[in-house]
């Protein structure tokens, strides 16, 4: 019995080491095979970063909404790194994020099965990990989101959770939709305050106070974040997936466009008023494409893996968020991150590489693996109980 126990303990200790070796092998292979990869806004990020490095100049253009990433590049340039060094740094940060994800899942689940599974999914999910090699915002953005959630899970008091704020503000500077992490944190704080409020008057006051958050968010989104984006125009074209013409929604009626000089959200509201049926059809398809993640141009195997892994995890994630074993504020934070990202994709556009889901899929790995480990423990105890009854 002692030998078996010692063997089991040794195996459990070796599993994190095995994950570390797997991560190292996979990332080394990606860097060796692909090297530095560029796409879309890469050249603009590099140019903006060079301006910061050489002249400490922050141009007031489209890239200012992503300024956190050029600042990251500029710091690395100042330290003497080239683009190869940048992707190595992004990869190392992703590795640290994997460690944070492991510890986060272990604390939430209270066992060693869930963190192994969640971390295995995180480091092995190619659609997520391949961003480490791109000079794009995604890798840094995902890693910092994982770090932020780690800070919240480790925090024992509201005061301790405030340490996450500098990180969340920086995340909001990396991508225009980075503000969703700040909104999710306000949801986290509101849940704590609401569940602790002594009476209905305090709870009502909290609800009134919190309505200011979405109002402020709408103003910021409309007047600043969306000014350089063409949202309504994507509906005019009927494209469901950005940079892919194979899925088009057609309409029998002419699509009526709003005035060109209206603000982005005003355009959207006017467009919905004039083209309600068409808008909701396109939004419904985009909603399904976001959560479904499968693409018509992916291979059959690729889509099959997505369906076999991600879809069951959605079910277990939902169960975990409703499970009282996970603190409600953390579930609210995670749910707000997921659903805000889903909403943004629904009303704008799904990307050809599914990157919008990839920025938050790690939450599905954490919560899904946690609930799955709890279910596995229940099944094990039931089998043990039945075996004892038969003896």
C-alpha 43/C-alpha 136 separation (Å) is 10
Q: Where is average pLDDT lowest: 103-117, 141-155, 259-273? A: 259-273
Q: 182: Cβ–Cβ under 8 A, 6 or more apart, which residues?
A: 168, 169, 171, 172
What is the rounded average pLDDT of the residues 2-22?
68
- Given a cut of 50, whether residue 6 has pLDDT beyond it is no
What is the rounded average pLDDT of the residues 13-26?
90
- CA torsion sign for 345, 348, 351, 355 is negative
What CA–CA distances, in Å, run from 106 to 14, 111, 140, 147, 244? Answer: 16, 6, 23, 15, 40
The pLDDT score that the predictor gives to residue 311 is: 97
The pLDDT score that the predictor gives to residue 266 is: 81
The pLDDT score that the predictor gives to residue 151 is: 98
Quick check: 89 and 27 in contact, CB under 8 A? Answer: no
Q: 55: Cβ–Cβ under 8 A, 6 or more apart, which residues?
A: none
What is the rounded average pLDDT of the residues 31-44?
91
pLDDT digits (tens, 9 = 90+) for 297-306: 999 999 999 9
Query: Tokens at residue 89, please?
Result: 């740094």
Strands 239-242 and 350-351 turn out to be parallel
- Given a cut of 70, whether residue 136 has pLDDT beyond it is yes
C-beta neighbour count of 32 within 10 angstroms: 8
pLDDT digits (tens, 9 = 90+) for 307-330: 999 999 999 999 999 988 999 999
The pLDDT score that the predictor gives to residue 3 is: 47
pLDDT band at residue 389 using 50, 70 and 90 as cut-offs: confident
| b/e per residue 258-284 (b: at least 16 CB within 10 A) | beeeeebbebbebbbeebeebbeebbe
CA angle 2–6–10, rounded 5-degree value: 170
Quick check: 93 and 76 in contact, CB under 8 A? Answer: no
Query: Tokens at residue 69, please?
Result: 């990433």
Quick check: 128 and 122 in contact, CB under 8 A? Answer: yes
- Helix, strand, coil % over all residues of the chain, rounded to 5: 75, 5, 20
What CA–CA distances, in Å, run from 379 to 89, 112, 248, 352? Answer: 42, 16, 46, 39
C-beta neighbour count of 131 within 10 angstroms: 24
Percent of the chain's residues with pLDDT above 70 = 91
- Upper half-sphere CA count for residue 146 (Cβ side, 13 Å): 31
Q: Say if residue 249 is exposed, middle or buried (CB neighbours under 10 Å; 0-12, 13-18, 19+).
A: middle
The pLDDT score that the predictor gives to residue 147 is: 98
CA dihedral 313, 318, 323, 327 (to 10 degrees): 100
C-alpha 372/C-alpha 313 separation (Å) is 8
C-alpha 315/C-alpha 317 separation (Å) is 5
- Given a cut of 70, whether residue 12 has pLDDT beyond it is no
C-alpha 330/C-alpha 188 separation (Å) is 7
Closest by CA to 99, choosing from 126, 113, 127, 118, is 118
C-alpha 271/C-alpha 293 separation (Å) is 27
What is the rounded average pLDDT of the residues 25-52?
93
C-alpha 104/C-alpha 78 separation (Å) is 33
Q: 256: Cβ–Cβ under 8 A, 6 or more apart, which residues?
A: 271, 274, 275
- Given a cut of 80, whether residue 193 has pLDDT beyond it is yes
Q: Where is average pLDDT lowest: 94-98, 110-114, 162-166, 268-272? A: 268-272
C-alpha 27/C-alpha 71 separation (Å) is 24
């Amino acid at each position: 019995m002692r030998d078996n126990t010692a063997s089991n303990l040794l195996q459990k200790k070796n599993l994190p080491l095995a994950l570390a070796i797997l991560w190292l092998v996979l990332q080394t292979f990606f860097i060796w095979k692909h090297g530095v990869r560029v796409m879309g806004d890469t050249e603009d990020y590099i140019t903006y970063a060079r301006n910061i490095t050489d002249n400490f100049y922050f141009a007031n253009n489209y890239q200012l909404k992503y300024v956190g990433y050029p600042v990251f590049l500029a710091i690395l340039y100042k330290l003497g790194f080239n683009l190869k060094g940048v992707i190595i740094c992004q990869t190392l940060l992703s590795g640290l994020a994997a460690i944070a994800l492991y510890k986060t899942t272990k604390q939430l689940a209270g066992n060693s099965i869930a963190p192994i599974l969640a971390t295995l999914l995180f480091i092995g999910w190619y659609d997520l990990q391949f961003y480490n090699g791109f000079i794009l915002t995604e890798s840094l953005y995902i890693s910092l989101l994982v770090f932020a959630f780690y800070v919240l899970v480790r925090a024992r008091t509201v005061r301790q959770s405030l340490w996450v704020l500098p990180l969340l503000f920086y995340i909001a500077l990396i991508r225009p939709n980075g503000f969703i992490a700040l909104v999710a944190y306000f949801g986290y704080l509101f849940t704590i305050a609401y569940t602790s409020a002594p009476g209905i008057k305090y709870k009502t006051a909290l609800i009134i106070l919190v309505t200011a958050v979405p109002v402020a968010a709408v103003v910021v989104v409309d007047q600043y974040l969306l000014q350089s984006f063409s949202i309504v125009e994507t509906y005019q074209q009927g494209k469901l997936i950005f940079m892919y013409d194979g899925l088009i929604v057609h309409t029998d009626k002419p699509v009526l466009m709003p005035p060109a000089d209206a603000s982005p959200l005003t355009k959207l509201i006017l467009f919905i008023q004039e083209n309600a049926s068409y808008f909701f059809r396109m939004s419904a398809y985009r909603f399904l494409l976001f959560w479904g993640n499968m693409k018509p141009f992916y291979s059959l195997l690729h889509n099959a893996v997505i369906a076999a892994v991600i879809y069951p995890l959605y079910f277990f994630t939902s169960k975990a968020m409703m499970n009282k074993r996970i603190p409600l504020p953390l579930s609210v934070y995670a749910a707000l991150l997921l659903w805000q990202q889903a909403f943004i994709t629904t009303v704008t556009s799904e990307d050809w590489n599914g990157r919008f889901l990839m920025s938050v899929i790690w939450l599905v790995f954490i919560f899904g693996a946690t609930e799955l480990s709890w279910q596995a423990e229940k099944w094990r105890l039931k089998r043990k109980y039945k075996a004892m009854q038969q003896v």
